[in-house]
Structure 1
Amino acid sequence: MSLRATARIAADADGSLPVLTSDGPLALRRTRAAVPGWTRVTVVGAMSAPLGGDRLAIETEVRDGARLRVDSAAATLALPGRSPEPAAYELRLRVGGDAVLRWLPEQLVSAHGSDLRVRTDVDLAPTACLVLREEQVLGRHGEPPGTLVSRLAVRRAGAPLLDQELAYGPGASGGWDGAAVLGGHRATGQLLVVDPAYEGAPPPARPLGESAALTPLAGPAVLVTAVAPDALALRRILDAALDELAPE
C-alpha cells in the first residue's frame, strides 16, 4: 500500500519551533546547532521510502528573522515498490524577511527499478537568504540507476529566480548519460546560494575544477553545478563551494 505523508516545520526568530510535526517515514528531530543563534532540524528516516506510488512532502516556514538549518541523518534511498506509479517527494520552502534557510540534506540515491519525481518549490522574501544543496547518486554500487526527475523552482519577491528540471535514467529522454550531460559520471548535484548582498555584484562565472561550474543568476544568486564519479567526490566539490560562497 502506498504512503501519504507530510511533515511540517516552522521556525521563529527566537529559536523556537512552534511547528515540528513528523509523519510516516519522515521523522523530524530538533538537534544541536553548531553555530549560536541558529535552529537545527534533522530529518530521520523512520522506514524505507519513497517506494513506488508513495507521496511524501516536507513543508518548511522560516519566519521573519529566523535562522534555520535542515539536514538529514542519512541518504534518501528511492526504491521500487509494488505500485507501478512513480513516487513523489515534494519540498515546499518559505523564507521570510531577514530570515536564512540552509537546506543541506544527504544524498538522494536512485536505486535500480525505482521511479521518483522530486519537486522543490521555494518562495523567498526580498531580504531572505537561502543555501540549498541537492545531490543525486544514480544507482547503488555496481547497478544502473532508476528513473529520477527533479524540478527546482525558486521565486523571490514573487518573481521567478530559477526554474529547472533534470531527468536521468531509463525513463528520461536520450542523451542524459552522454558527454554533454553526465559524461559517464554517476553523481551529480548543485548548490544554490541566494543572498541580497549579491545584488548588483554576484561572483563571476567560472569553472570550479574539471567537473563543476559557478553561474551567476539574474538576481542576487549563484548556482554551482557539478558531476563526479561518486558521492564522496561530489560532496568535496560542493563543500568547497559552500565554504567559499556561504561560510557559516
Structure 2
Amino acid sequence: MSTRIDVTADPVRDRCLLTTDHLSPRRLHGPPGVVRVALVAAGALLLAGDEVRIEVAVSGPTRLEIVETAGTVAYAMRGGSARWDVDIRLTDGASLQWYAEPFVVSAGADVTRTTTARLETGCTAQLRESLVLGRYGEVGGTLRTATRAWLDDGLLLAEDLDLSPETRGGWAILGPARCLDTVTTLGFRLPDTPHTLQLEGSGSIARQLLHEQHESDLVQTPV
C-alpha cells in the first residue's frame, strides 16, 4: 500500500483522488488552479519496520501544494530499520510545491529515505527537505538518502548521502552541523546565491548546514 495523491486539471474543478496508508492526505481549500493537500500521520511514525511510501501524480496545468501538519520523528529502532520513499510524476504542465516539515532521526534510528521525480518539459517542482540528526542533546541515528530526478528522458539530478554517525562529521558532509536544510527546484532555476548550486539542466539546489533548524533562512520562491 501507498499514500497516494492523484490530481488532474479540469476546467471546472480540478479532480483530486486521495489514498490513505501510513499518512492520511486531506484536501484543503485553495484558490482556482491550486490544489492544496495536507498530510496527517495515520498512526505513530516512524518506527522499526515501517515502510512509508508516498506517490504523487499531477497531470495538466494546475499546481499541487502539499502541506505537512507536523514534523516526523524516527525513533530508536533497537537494531531494526525503516524506509521513507517518495515517488513524484508531473505531466502536461503540472506544478508541485512541497515544503516538508523537519524529519528528525533520533539516536538509535536507522532510516533509508528516497525521492524519485519524473517531470515532462513545462512542469516544475519545488521541494524542501529538512533533515535533523538527533533530538536536543542527542547524537542522531543513521540516515541514508537517495534522490533521482528526470526531465523528460534526461537525468537531471542524482545524489546519494550517507549521513550515518561514522561518516557525516567529515568536512565535505556535515562537519559540526546537525541539520541539513535543502530546497530543490526542478524545471526552473533559483537566483544565484552563496548557498545555491545550479544543476547542469533546469534546476537548482539551495542548501544550508546548521546546528539548529530554526536558524535556516531558506524560503519558497514564487514560480
1:38 touches 1:67 (CA, 8 Å); kept in 2?
yes
Quick one: which of 94, 104, 109 aligns to 1:109? 104
Please provide the CA RMSD for this pair. Answer: 1.8
TM-score (norm: length of structure 2): 0.92
- The one-letter code matched in structure 2 to 1:165 is D
For residues 32 and 229 of structure 1, what CA distance do their matches in structure 2 show? 35
With over 3 angstroms needed to count, the CA separation of the structure-2 counterparts of 1:19 and 1:150, relative to structure 1, is same
The alignment covers a number of residue pairs equal to 221
CA shift, 1:36, in A, is: 4.1
Q: What aligned pairs does 1:40-189 form with structure 2 within 5 A after superposition? A: 40-81=36-77, 84-170=79-165, 173-174=166-167, 176-189=168-181
- For 2:215, what is the secondary structure of its paired residue? helix
Cα distance in structure 2, aligned partners of 1:38 and 1:60 = 15
Instruction: Show the counterpart of 2:28.
Output: 31
Letter in 1 for 2:131: Q
Structure with a larger share of its residues in helix: 1
Q: Does 1:16 align with 2:8?
A: no
SS of residue paired to 1:74? coil
After superposition, give the CA deviation of every residue in 1:45-85 in whole Å (9 maximum; x if it has no partner): 12221211211101110112121011210001111336x34
8 Å contact 1:44–1:73 — kept in the other structure?
A: yes
TM-score, structure 1 length as denominator?
A: 0.83
Alpha-carbon shift at residue 18 of structure 1 (Å): 3.7
Long gaps (5+) in structure 1 = 208-212
Aligned identity (percent) is: 30
Whole-angstrom distance in 2 between the partners of 1:194 and 1:27: 26
Q: Which amino acid aligns with 2:93?
A: D
